Structure 1
Amino acid sequence: MTDHSAGAGLQILVDGRPASAPLRDTHAVARKLVRHFADNVTPCGSLPGEQLQSDVTDFTVVCLRLGIQMLDEGTSPTEEDLAEVRDASARWAREGFPLTLVLRILHEGITKAGDLAAANAREEDLPGLLVIQKVMFALLECVTVAATTSYVNELEAVNSERDGAAVNLVTALLSGRKAASAARHAGVEPAENYVVMGLAVPPHPAEAVAHRRKAVVARQKLRRLQIELSEASGGAALCSLSPDGGTILLPGSPERAWIVSLLDRIGAAAEVPLTATVSRVRTADIPTAAEQVHELLDLAHQLALAPGLYEMNDLALEYQLTRPGPGRTHLARLLDPLQNSPELVETLEVHIGHDLNRQRTAKKMHLHTNTVDYRLKRIAQLTGCDPTRPSGLRQIQAALVARKLEVAQRER
């Protein structure tokens, strides 16, 4: 800013004194403003007292000096003048001060400085008051742009450093290499135990209609998921993810209920239903566990299981049947007599899926319970395995899984 009203360098008087006079004891004014910040801007103690007495005070003194310069000389701050504002803002970004707090301090400080400059104004000083207001707005614009730009740039640099280091650590853990050096760079000490999670992320509905923006929509979905994952895990989760899914490492041994809650949260953020498989292992066993959870994840996909969380205990039989061989082939052939009766296979799957409850099966299929009974008896006659008896049911369940896996293998 090179002029205040009609010309540059015109002195602004309030009550016969330069408008900057009440601000010139910058350290005393800064201490007063910092007390105001402590009482009104950070009432919950967001900033420790020591920092309030040093960083924030120094920052306030710099801004006051810029305001005095603008009031007395009618000139805007140069890039060099704003260097200390940028440096302080960058330092706060690296130390984790919220940007909203930085901006509130700026706004409150400059507002109060303007009030002090105009405190003793008389009626004839009205034109000068308007100029003071103009100067304060210009000062607020200068320091806000400088502080925000510096803060964002520094935060992006910090996040880039952390993301790169975290990727290195995940890579080291998944590959089985000693992770000590990667951990030092990431600022993270590897835990003794991890939950290894394989995650499948389906396409967002918007991806189907996004055409040229499909990749953009997919990245946005992934970014929402990553942000929620970081927040839900307190920043502890390590991940290697693409828009289709990947691997997540959760330190410690969280309970299944917590992991289910985490899956719900990140699925809600991504706006898609997620399927995950997990294994709890020591750090040294992460590579083997990662391979296993992704085998389980492929299995859940082949069996068209509902989205949700699965562990080896949930899929032990199915997992074992993924190994091709004469046993699996024999089991799959148990259902060959039903080849020409798809309604019997459907009844069997629905009945098992509804915990062998005839009424629920009938309701789901819009049938009478007698029809369900007839079909179950017919299945027993054709296959020699009675699905209403425990021994027959075990064979039938194994045969259904084997049949799905055989079909999936042929279709590859």
Structure 2
Amino acid sequence: MPLSDGARVLALRCEPKVNELARRMTRQSFEQLPGYAGLPDDVKDLEIAATIRHGVRLFLRRATEPHPGPGGLRLFRERAAQRAEEGMPLHLLLRSHALGMYVLWQSLRETAEPGEEGALIELVDLLLQSHHSLVGAVAETYMDERSALEAEQREQRRSLVRGFLDGTLEPGRALLEQLGLDGPALVLAVVMEPSADSDPESGGSELGSAVTVRRRMRRIQTVLDQGFGTELLFLFDAGTGRAVVPQGCEPPGDLVERLTRACGAEVRVAAVPAAAPEAVPEASRTAVEILQVARACGLPPGLHSLDDVLLEFHLSRPGPSSHRIAALLDPVAGRPELLQTLRTHLAQHQDRRLTAALLGLHPNTVDNRLAKLTELTGLDPASPRGAALAIAALLLRDSAAGADGVSAAG
């Protein structure tokens, strides 16, 4: 609705006061805002003053021109993005706009003469209409810019942590200061277990989609931070989370239980100490391998250390004979039921009845399957040597397959 001639005349009388208003806001009114006094003088006298002059003139143009054109918020958006990049708090930015509107209202009121009350009300109405659009544009731009900056910072930190854990970045003093790490540490590897009723064909497990896994890994990161009482270096990659715990941060006794509750799935955690930052990459690799070996050996989910899988870890190390040991199970590669029976039987210390109960079979069926496996491969899991060769073959095949045991959780 067009303004009356009286409202336009009142607005025109305010035009000569634009520079005065900018000085009043930047050097008097805004000084009461928390944090404003600490801004550099050039920001106040140049950038903020120029934005104020632009805003006041934009308002007066809308008041005095019968058909003002659209736009005019571009400068406010640019300044909002700039303030976000500089780290100015959003509340301070928005309060400065609200206070600026109030100072402009004061100027309109001081300029109005008796009998111009109606014109003053029209201008205040226009001022309020303009303000909500301005604040919306400023807040939206600020939040977009902050989100982009934070995403960039997270990705930069993620790249640093990945390079540090993988050993591709030299752990020099600058990097360690940036990561906040100095001295001995404990390296953790964490992986979620697929649910017992998951369907490998369809990928239909509780770990399900990549989005679900990432969300649960973020919960794991939160629990670790809270449990150790500090923000840890954490990296989630290929279905496995890795964290570096500084010396002196003690884990709660129920850490695994907390992680399980947080992500709604059973969790494996491997812990490996690193005597110095330079030892962290090797400790990280060892922790991930412990998870692989623990799962391949049929150990239940929980907290694992190298001592828990010491023999199996040693047997799973590649060497000149590795491919020949792994090939011992080639004759049953197409018989997953025989491999599953063998794996379960070894994990249950060759207890045929417990193996049968876990697989839902009759004990005689377990015996028959193991006999068939011996017939096809020549391995006798009932003998110490046969059991050792079978364990090594299973572990080496898992390793050669790209550590399917851990990556399947991703």
Alignment TM-score, normalising by the size of structure 2: 0.58
Structure 2 counterpart of 1:112, one-letter code:
Y
CA–CA distance in structure 2, aligned partners of residues 91 and 265 of structure 1? 40
Counterpart of 1:339 in structure 2 is 352
| CA displacement 1:333-387 (0-9 Å, x = unmatched) | 9955x52477999xxxxxxxxxxxxxxxxxxxxxxxxxxxxxxxxxxxxxxxxxx
| Secondary structure at 1:292 match in 2 | helix
One-letter amino acid of the structure 1 residue matched with residue 33 of structure 2: F
* C-alpha deviation, 1:165, in angstroms: 5.2
Contact conserved, 2:161 with 2:235, CA < 8 A, in 1? no
Gap runs ≥5 in structure 2: 63-67, 317-342, 359-386, 399-410
CA distance in 1, matches of 2:101, 2:225: 37
Equivalent position of 2:280 in the other structure: 286
Deviation, 1:167, is 1.0
| SS of match in other structure, 2:170 | coil
Counterpart position of 1:149: 141
Distance in 1 of aligned mates of 2:127 and 2:294: 65
- Amino acid paired to 2:251: A
Q: Does 1:5 align with 2:2?
A: yes
1:304-383 equivalences under 5 Å are 304-307=299-302, 309-312=303-306, 316-324=307-315, 336=350, 338-340=351-353
Shift of 1:171: 1.7
CA distance in 2 between partners of 1:131 and 1:125 (Å): 10
Output the CA distance in 2 between the equivalents of 1:198 and 1:304: 16
Determine the C-alpha separation between the residues in 2 that align with 1:189 and 1:287: 16
Judged with a 3 Å threshold, the aligned counterparts in structure 2 of structure 1 residues 200 and 21 are, in CA distance, closer, same or farther, namely same
Label 1:239 to 1:323 Cα distance change in 2 as closer, same or farther (>3 A).
same
| Aligned equivalents of 1:136, 1:27: Cα separation in 2 | 22
Amino acid at match of 1:246: G
Q: Is the 8 A contact 1:201 1:273 kept in 2?
A: yes
Distance 1:266 1:111 in 2: 53
What is aligned with 1:378?
Answer: none
Instruction: Measure how far apart 1:253 and its partner are.
Output: 1.0
Indicate whether 1:27 and 2:23 are aligned: yes
TM-score (norm 1): 0.58
Equivalent residue of 1:178, what SS? coil
Farther-moved stretch of structure 1 (64-73 vs 231-240): 231-240
Match for residue 197 of structure 1 among 188, 194, 198: 188
Deviations 1:129-168 (A, max 9, x none): 2433323432442354146325523641453255135414
Retained in 2: the 8 A contact 1:203–1:218?
no
The alpha-carbon distance between structure 1 residues 219 and 334, as it changes in their structure 2 partners (threshold 3 A), is closer
Question: Deviation per CA, 1:107-143, whole angstroms, max 9, x where unpaired?
Answer: x324423542454566752353243332343244235
Equivalence for 2:330: none
Distance (whole Å) between structure 1 residues aligned to residue 229 and residue 4 of structure 2: 55
Q: 2:153, 2:24 → 1: CA distance?
A: 39
Structure 2 CA distance for partners of 1:197 and 1:144, relative to 1, 3 Å? same
Matches within 5 A, 1:116-155: 116-117=106-107, 119=109, 124-142=116-134, 144-146=136-138, 148-149=140-141, 152-153=144-145, 155=147
Question: C-alpha separation between the residues in 2 aligned to 1:23 and 1:63?
Answer: 11
Which one of the candidate residues 226, 231, 255 is aligned to 2:249? 255
* Aligned-partner residue type, residue 277 of structure 2: T
Structure 2 CA distance for partners of 1:192 and 1:132, relative to 1, 3 Å: same
Question: Which letter maps to 2:281?
Answer: P
Tell me which of 77, 82, 102 is aligned to 1:112: 102
Q: Percent of pairs identical after alignment? A: 14
Write the distance in 2 (CA, Å) between the matches of 1:203 and 1:56.
58
Distance 1:70 1:149, change over 3 A: same
Aligned equivalents of 1:262, 1:342: Cα separation in 2: 26
Q: Decide whether aligned partners of structure 1 residues 136 and 173 sit closer, same or farther in structure 2, where only a CA change above 3 A counts.
A: same
RMSD: 5.3
Matched, 1:93 2:89: no
Do 2:270 and 2:287's aligned partners in 1 also have CA atoms closer than 8 Å?
A: yes
| Kept in 2: contact 1:180–1:190 (CA 8 A) | no
- Which residue of structure 1 aligns with residue 289 of structure 2? 295
Contact in 1 for aligned 2:270/2:304 (Cα 8 Å): yes
May I ask how many residue pairs the two structures share in their alignment? 329
